[in-house]
């Protein structure tokens, strides 16, 4: 009897142990609701929704997750999917949404999308991301031709939205006077603007805007607008065009508090009406279509230098001033780049002189990174290296040259740097695979150098041809 009781005892403990084991190892369900909502908020709504059948604990959780991420399935029959979205939205009871993301690439009636956006607005959404192509996304062309989606008017009276991101076949149509009282980040990517005043109206209706990004890929008509925002800290402008005609635009910028500026694309008229005293970083990548630069070449270089002059307070500058010869005209003088500490320069046959000009006007430069963007090219704009004292001498610590091919002017340039930079600590040269590391290293070591602590490194860059 004792044995059997012992056996039953051990059985009991065994059972208890097993039960404990089962209970103990389900750790995730013991997390508080708020944490589970937080975890589910990182999943697309499709997956969060599916957790409803995991267990009793998980059944109601998805309905209170404060984010909704709806992405269509790119199927040719999206009608039943729209039903599903309605169902999801109807059952979702979180009182306020932190983020609502709608990505829609299938043919659809716009009133459905309109309804869903209304739903989000009614839930005091803070971040709204819309990417909508009503007629399906056309991948082969850069231009979307199809039905456009008109944003619901109630969007423009939303007081809670902090981040607004619009891209795709959407038409921007703000009412004449409105305010996005809380909007801090606005990103417009490849959308349609209708009459050009729309974007000025939109931007002027954002009193606390800090981050603006405007990307346009196809510009049909003259596009002029003002950016007059005193709180703006970050500005990103990208105007590219795949048409043979040059895009034309006039941009007037009043942003005294700007800290970060990025421009990419075809440069036309960009005027900064106020000095950018707080500018920390500027990135400028200029691309030009072959055809029209021939016509405008006289003004092109001028335009580039005008933009650069406006950016002269930057601490970090990354510049690719294009590869067209017309840049040979114009100069940076007389602006000085007093605060410039780091310069990333992408060099082409036609803009060596820009680099040299910058070196002259940046007495406090500490890091210089030069990237080469051409093959062995005979014609290039070269100018006699300035012998001015104080130029590069005291501050330059790091010098990187990517794409060194031992061409004559490159060698001259490297010699010049070594001769002038007294404080140079490291010089890193990246060569293409066809050259030999040791050979280049030997050549470089022969050059006279002013700095006693300079460390020269030669690396092979296998990504270059």
Partner 1 sequence: MFWKALKKSLYHPNKVKSLNKGHRLFALSLPCFYWRCKVQFLINLHCPCQMSEGAMAVVKPEMKSYIWLQTADGSIQQVEEEVAMFCPMICREVIQTGTGSSKNYAISLPQRVNPAILGLILDYCRFHQVPGRSNKERKTFDEKFIRMDTKRLCELTSAADSLQLKPLVDLTSRALARIIEGKTPEEIRETFHLPDDLTEEEKLEPLRNITDDPRIRLLNRLYARKRKELKEREKLKNVEVEEERVDDRSVDDLLSFINGGDGDTKGTRTNKNKKKNRRRKDQSKDSCLNNEMHDSACHDGEGNNGLLASASTSSKLQDSAAVTFSPKLEFDDGDIDDDLDPAMKEELDREVEDFARRLNSVWPERMQELFQGRKLVPISLNGNSAMSRYTSLDQR
The nearest distance, CB 61 to partner 1, in angstroms, is: 12
Q: Is 56 exposed, middle or buried (0-12, 13-18, 19+ CB in 10 A)?
A: exposed
CB closer to partner 1 out of 116 and 148: 116
15 binds partner 1 (CB under 8 A): no
3-state secondary structure of 199: helix
173 binds partner 1 (CB under 8 A): no
CB closer to partner 1 out of 127 and 255: 127
d(CA 463, CA 238): 27
Is the bond into 327 cis (omega within 30 degrees of 0)?
Answer: no
CB closer to partner 1 out of 57 and 254: 57
CB closer to partner 1 out of 91 and 222: 91
19 binds partner 1 (CB under 8 A): no
Q: 456: closest CA among 423, 436, 429? A: 429
446 binds partner 1 (CB under 8 A): no
d(CA 284, CA 322): 10
Which listed residue (39, 185, 423, 450) binds partner 1 by CB under 8 A?
39
CA 31 to chain CA centroid, nearest Å: 36
The nearest distance, CB 92 to partner 1, in angstroms, is: 11
Applying CB under 8 A, which part among 53-61, 207-215, 230-238, 348-356 lies near partner 1?
53-61
Which listed residue (7, 12, 13, 26) binds partner 1 by CB under 8 A?
26
Instruction: Say if strands 234-239 and 249-254 run parallel, antiparallel, or are unpaired.
Output: unpaired
42 binds partner 1 (CB under 8 A): yes
78 binds partner 1 (CB under 8 A): yes
Tokens of 85: 């979205």
Applying CB under 8 A, which part among 28-36, 118-126, 178-186, 387-395 lies near partner 1?
28-36
Q: In the block, which residue shows the tokens 């589970």? A: 36
Which listed residue (8, 16, 73, 221) binds partner 1 by CB under 8 A?
73
83 binds partner 1 (CB under 8 A): yes
Applying CB under 8 A, which part among 22-30, 153-161, 414-422, 446-454 lies near partner 1?
22-30
DSSP notation for 307-359:
HHHHTTT-SEEEEE--S-GGGGS---TT---TT--EEEEEE-TT-HHHHHHHH
Which listed residue (6, 15, 75, 122) binds partner 1 by CB under 8 A?
75
3-state secondary structure of 75: coil
Q: Which 8-state DSSP code applies to residue 153?
A: G
The nearest distance, CB 23 to partner 1, in angstroms, is: 9
Instruction: Say if strands 211-216 and 234-239 run parallel, antiparallel, or are unpaired.
Output: parallel
Tokens of 29: 């369900």
d(CA 447, CA 80): 73
CB closer to partner 1 out of 79 and 271: 79
Tokens of 392: 């590069």
Residues 6+ apart with CB under 8 A from 207: 179, 181, 231
Applying CB under 8 A, which part among 83-91, 137-145, 197-205, 312-320 lies near partner 1?
83-91
Which listed residue (30, 154, 338, 463) binds partner 1 by CB under 8 A?
30
Which listed residue (9, 12, 15, 74) binds partner 1 by CB under 8 A?
74
Print burial letters for 270-292: b (CB count within 10 Å at least 16), e (below 16).
Answer: bebeeebeebbbbbbbbebbeeb
Q: Is 10 exposed, middle or buried (0-12, 13-18, 19+ CB in 10 A)?
A: exposed
Applying CB under 8 A, which part among 45-53, 234-242, 245-253, 340-348 lies near partner 1?
45-53
CB closer to partner 1 out of 54 and 271: 54
d(CA 417, CA 392): 8
d(CA 388, CA 391): 6
Applying CB under 8 A, which part among 49-57, 179-187, 224-232, 261-269 lies near partner 1?
49-57
CB closer to partner 1 out of 92 and 303: 92
CB closer to partner 1 out of 103 and 331: 103
17 binds partner 1 (CB under 8 A): no
55 binds partner 1 (CB under 8 A): yes
Which listed residue (9, 15, 17, 54) binds partner 1 by CB under 8 A?
54
CB closer to partner 1 out of 79 and 433: 79
Instruction: Say if strands 67-71 and 99-104 run parallel, antiparallel, or are unpaired.
Output: parallel
111 binds partner 1 (CB under 8 A): no
32 binds partner 1 (CB under 8 A): yes
- Helix (H) or strand (E) segment spanning residue 164: strand 163-168
87 binds partner 1 (CB under 8 A): yes
Q: Is 204:232 a contact under the CB 8 Å cutoff?
A: no
| Binding stretches for partner 1 (CB under 8 A) | 22, 25-32, 34-35, 38-44, 46-47, 49-59, 73-81, 83-84, 86-87, 90-91
């Amino acid at each position: 009897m004792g044995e059997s009781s012992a056996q039953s005892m051990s059985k009991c403990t065994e059972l208890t142990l097993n039960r404990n084991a089962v209970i103990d190892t389900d750790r995730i369900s013991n997390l508080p609701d708020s944490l589970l909502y937080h975890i589910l908020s990182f999943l697309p709504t499709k997956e969060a929704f599916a957790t409803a059948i995991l267990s009793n604990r998980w059944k109601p959780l998805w309905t209170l997750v404060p984010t909704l991420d709806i992405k269509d399935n790119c199927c040719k029959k999206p009608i039943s999917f729209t039903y599903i979205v309605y169902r999801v939205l109807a059952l979702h009871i979180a009182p306020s949404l932190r983020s609502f993301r709608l990505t829609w690439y299938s043919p659809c009636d716009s009133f459905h999308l309109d309804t869903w956006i209304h739903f989000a607005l009614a839930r005091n959404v803070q971040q709204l991301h819309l990417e909508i192509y009503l007629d399906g996304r056309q991948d082969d062309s850069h231009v979307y031709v199809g039905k456009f989606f008109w944003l619901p008017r109630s969007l423009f009276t939303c007081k809670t939205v902090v981040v607004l991101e619009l891209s795709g076949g959407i038409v921007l149509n703000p009412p004449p006077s409105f305010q996005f009282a809380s909007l801090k980040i606005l990103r417009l990517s490849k959308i349609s603007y209708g009459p050009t005043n729309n974007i000025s109206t939109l931007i002027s209706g954002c009193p606390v805007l800090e981050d603006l990004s405007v990307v346009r890929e196809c510009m049909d008509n003259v596009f002029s607008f003002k950016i007059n925002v005193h709180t703006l800290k970050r500005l990103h402008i990208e105007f590219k065009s795949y048409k043979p005609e040059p895009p034309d635009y006039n941009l007037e910028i009043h942003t005294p508090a700007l800290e970060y500026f990025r421009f990419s694309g075809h440069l036309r008229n960009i005027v900064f009406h106020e000095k950018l005293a707080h500018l920390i970083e500027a990135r400028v990548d200029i691309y030009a279509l072959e055809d029209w630069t021939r016509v405008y070449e006289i003004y092109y270089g001028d335009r580039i230098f005008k933009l650069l002059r406006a950016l002269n307070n930057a601490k970090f500058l990354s510049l690719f001033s294009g590869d067209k010869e017309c840049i040979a005209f114009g100069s940076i003088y007389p602006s000085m780049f007093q605060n410039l500490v780091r310069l990333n320069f992408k060099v082409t046959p036609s803009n060596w002189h820009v680099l040299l000009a910058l070196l002259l006007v940046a007495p406090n430069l500490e890091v210089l990174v030069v990237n080469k963007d051409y093959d062995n090219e005979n014609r290039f704009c070269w100018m006699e290296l300035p012998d001015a004292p104080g130029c590069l001498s005291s501050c330059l610590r790091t010098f990187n040259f990517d794409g060194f091919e031992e061409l004559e002017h490159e060698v001259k340039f490297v010699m010049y740097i070594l001769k002038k930079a007294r404080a140079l600590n490291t010089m890193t040269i990246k060569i293409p695979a066809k050259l030999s590391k040791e050979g280049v290293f030997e050549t470089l070591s022969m050059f006279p150098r002013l700095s006693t602590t300079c460390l020269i490194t030669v690396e092979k860059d296998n990504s270059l041809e």
